[in-house]
Amino acid sequence: MSYTSYSDARISRAFRPVPRLVLKSPEREVAFRTEHVVRAKTTLILKPARDDSLEVGYRIVHEDNNPAFTVTGRKFGDRSCREFRDASGLPLFDIHRWSALSVPFHWYFTMPGSDRKSKIATADTQTSLKGGDLKFTFQNLAASDLKMESEKDVTLMVRRHGEALRLFDIIDGDRRIGEVRESIRHNEKLYLTKRSRRQGFRPALEIIIVPGVDATLV
């Protein structure tokens, strides 16, 4: 499979073809929070703060720079989690690391202020510190027509592509329903070597979401 654009080719220093699924809407809506399902193809920008202990560790904005979401810093507050909030600052859910020492990494998600017993989703890396796929499992709140709770369970895969720049596909079955890529436009510098990345560099990311998908998922 050939690259579809120069930017796709630039992702990989080796310019090796990387097979990827077609970017298209899911067969049914997929939502963690139904009020944030997008109705048209949407691009968001994730901008990290320089200090990850601040109240706002990440800002997620629209292309016109209007706010969409914020995420608190890793060391902010007295709770060991990140709070995911909407544009008004209303908490949507919390993101917890299962254990700071666990490899592969595991996360779980709860409603704001809840504990591990009431988790609403889980995320697990499939390999090790070197990277790999990530599996995200949750209950699809857009599947209200299904009677059995087990039928509402959805698993999305996050697959990494490229070498020089970070690129991740969000996969639902045989479809690519979202994409997260290191932004060429929104980073002052591009750190293309492993050594430079070990210095704590956190790049701005572009997030592409297709219609019928909850923006908070991606």
Q: Which residue has the higher pLDDT, 187 or 209?
A: 209
Does 68 reside within a domain? no
Q: Is 36 helix (H, G, I), strand (E, B) or coil?
A: helix
Does 84 reside within a domain? no
Whole-number percent of the chain with pLDDT over 90: 47
Does 39 reside within a domain? yes
How many structural domains does the chain have? 1
Mean residue pLDDT of the chain comes to: 83
Does 145 reside within a domain? yes
User: Which residues, 6+ apart, have CB-to-CB distance to 76 below 8 Å?
Assistant: 53, 54, 55, 57
User: Which residue(s) pair with 131 in the sheet?
Assistant: 128
Does 54 reside within a domain? no
Does 66 reside within a domain? no
The whole-number average pLDDT for the span 151-156 is: 86
pLDDT of residue 122: 93
- Read off the pLDDT band of 15 (50, 70, 90): very low
Is 70 exceeded by the pLDDT of residue 32?
yes
pLDDT of residue 160: 87
- Read off the pLDDT band of 97 (50, 70, 90): confident
| DSSP letters for 121-174 | EEEEESSBTTB--EEEEEE-TT-TT-SSGGGGEEEEEEEEE-SSS-EEEEEETT
pLDDT of residue 208: 97
pLDDT digits (tens, 9 = 90+) for 167-201: 899 999 999 999 999 988 888 776 666 665 556 67
Does 12 reside within a domain? yes
Does 129 reside within a domain? yes
The whole-number average pLDDT for the span 14-28 is: 77
pLDDT of residue 197: 58
Give me the domain span that covers residue 20. Answer: 6-44+101-209
Q: Which residue has the higher pLDDT, 125 or 132?
A: 125
